[in-house]
Amino acid sequence: MTIEKEKQALSKKFHVLESSASVDRTETKIRETASTLNYVTPHFRADAEVEISPLKEGEIYTIGWVQAVTHMKFYNEYPSGTSSWEIQELNNGLSKAVSDADGRQYPWYGVTTERVTVKGPCSEQNVRILMNDNFSPTVSWAIPVGRDQPDTLRRVCRDQSFLVWLVIKNEITGDIHALRAYNWRAVINIAVDCTEDIGHRSKLLAPLYQDQPSELIELALPQSSLCSPRANEAQKFVWRTIDSELIFEVSCTPAVSSTTSLVSSAPSVAELRYPCRYSPY
């Protein structure tokens, strides 16, 4: 069956009754502890209800949400340099979108409310598919290298964009087709003054509220949004001095001890104050 005929067949079997995407109208929340700053962003939420026509024996389809990262700029500023989370595939232009699958089963964002599998034979039915996403990373007050460093964090900046698709996958043929597509963006700016007491160091700057997602006409999914590496595996934690000299670059997986690449003047792994358990999410 050609791609066009497959699309026509799917349009008869699956009808989107309702689909929406939004970001909660709340401010990012900031929490301060003795050693770290943690912020919790408002949730992105996607919701769809799909009507499925009766399926024949042997027909198996999965309907669900697929998400990919298209832009990621996330850095923490100190007087002596910056720490950052980076996805090299995006930075160097090798990928336009990096999968944000949960890693349990590609290409799905999740395997609970985020997807539904239906098997024939079955009668007509409606299914609802939900997903939500937000960030809750931890940032060290002190620079992430060396020991006994003073608290000098000045700024936390994050600008990250995503594409999200409502997708049907034919589990027999492997064909994937999108029914809806959205993009959304999270922008976080936090000013920090470490001369203040814990609990009074941080201030959320504009934008206080996030823009709402946009629905897209173009539904095509880049191949990189459907397979590894996913964002959590592709990202690296990087420290650069104030003059942009790269000091170290740490992959998130596997463990730090076996993936750290250091230049000659870099500290040992044991001296990293910012272990990879502090993920950008």
Structure tokens at 173: 């043929």
Burial (0-12, 13-18, 19+ Cβ within 10 Å), 166: buried
What is the residue whose two structure tokens read 């592709």? Answer: 234
Which residues face 68 on adjacent strands?
99, 163
| pLDDT tens track for 64-92 | 999 999 999 999 999 999 999 999 889 88
Mean pLDDT computed over 50-55:
95
- Tell which wins on pLDDT, 230 or 27: 27
Backbone angles phi, psi at 191, to 5 degrees: -90, 145
Contacting residues for 83 by C-beta, under 8 A, at least 6 apart: 75, 76, 140, 143, 144, 237, 238, 239, 274
Cα separation, 80 vs 264, whole angstroms: 18
Contacting residues for 146 by C-beta, under 8 A, at least 6 apart: 267, 271, 273
pTM over 0.85: yes
- Tell which wins on pLDDT, 229 or 69: 69
Burial (0-12, 13-18, 19+ Cβ within 10 Å), 112: exposed
| pLDDT tens track for 188-228 | 999 999 999 999 999 999 999 999 999 999 999 999 999 98
**Left (φ > 0), alpha (ψ -120 to 50) or beta: where does 205 sit?**
beta
| pLDDT tens track for 120-135 | 999 999 999 999 999 9
Backbone angles phi, psi at 138, to 5 degrees: -115, 135
Structure tokens at 166: 């409502």
